[in-house]
Amino acid sequence: MNANHIYLDKVNLHYASVAFKERSLKSLLGGLLKRDKPAAAVQDVHALKNISVEIRAGERVGLLGHNGAGKSTFLKMVAGLYPISGGTRVVEGTVRSLFDLSLGFEPDATGRENVLYRGLLLGLSPKFMRAIEDEVVEFAGLGEFIDYPIRTYSAGMQVRLAFAISTAVGGDVLLLDEVIGAGDANFMAKAKERITKLIEQSEILVLASHDFGALRSLCERGLVFDHGKLIFDGPVVEAIDHYKAVNGITS
């Protein structure tokens, strides 16, 4: 049996309340000037609650849920970006994730230098990144701007470069958070083609999306989340119907 799989047993994940505390002098002073109002207690956020699920090689799984239901947190937990608070998490296989594409850039370094930096964040070797640098630069289509500092880039240019780097190599477990908008029509056509190839090459696909059409066409299984809980696990068509019923969607 193929070893690539995701196994979660009674997984819980909390965001520490310290993440929501004041982080600037201005906001702290603003709070001190409002002493007449008692400060509201900030509680830890229980983002994922007793999640138990197993995803095997060959499966294409869609994640559904309202904003804040836990889909993106689930993906980042599977990717190992968020540590779990309790339970068991086992992920076998090389993980490739496509979300938060704008993160991980050094603004004062050039686009070309950031190809190396971001590759290192993805766990790729400097030798490998140097070998694929020309292909990444060509795919991003930034022209002479590739040798300009990232801080001079528009948001769209940053996403295009990040997409080119992040998709330069596939993985056994592919995690996608929504469809990525990365530029003009020509670039979007290239991006769609590359994502399709990554999906075909991956052993496992987990896709979080509000696009029912994309979920139906790409996935066979659906997981529905609601306030951090997994409330449905079954065929994707039934998952979509369940999500609609829970959220009062009639269309």
Q: What is the DSSP letter of 146?
A: G
Residue 143 exposure: Cα atoms within 13 Å on the Cβ side? 1
CA distance 220 to 222: 7
Q: What is the pTM of this model?
A: 0.82
User: What DSSP string runs through 176-228?
Assistant: EESPPP-SSHHHHHHHHHHHHHHHHH-SEEEEE-S-HHHHHHH-SEEEEEETT
By DSSP bridging, strand 221-226 and strand 229-235 are: antiparallel
Residue type, 184: D
Q: How many residues does the chain have?
A: 251
Residue tagged 């779990």 (tokens): 84
pLDDT for 27-74, tens place per residue?
Answer: 555 665 665 555 555 567 899 999 999 999 999 999 999 999 999 999
pLDDT for 162-221, tens place per residue?
Answer: 889 888 888 899 999 875 655 667 888 888 888 889 999 999 999 999 999 989 999 999
Domains of the chain: 5-93+208-247 (3.40.50.300), 111-202 (no CATH)
pLDDT band at 22 (very low <50, low <70, confident <90, very high): very low
Q: In degrees, to the nearest 5, what angle opens at C-alpha 16 toward C-alphas 228 and 36?
A: 110
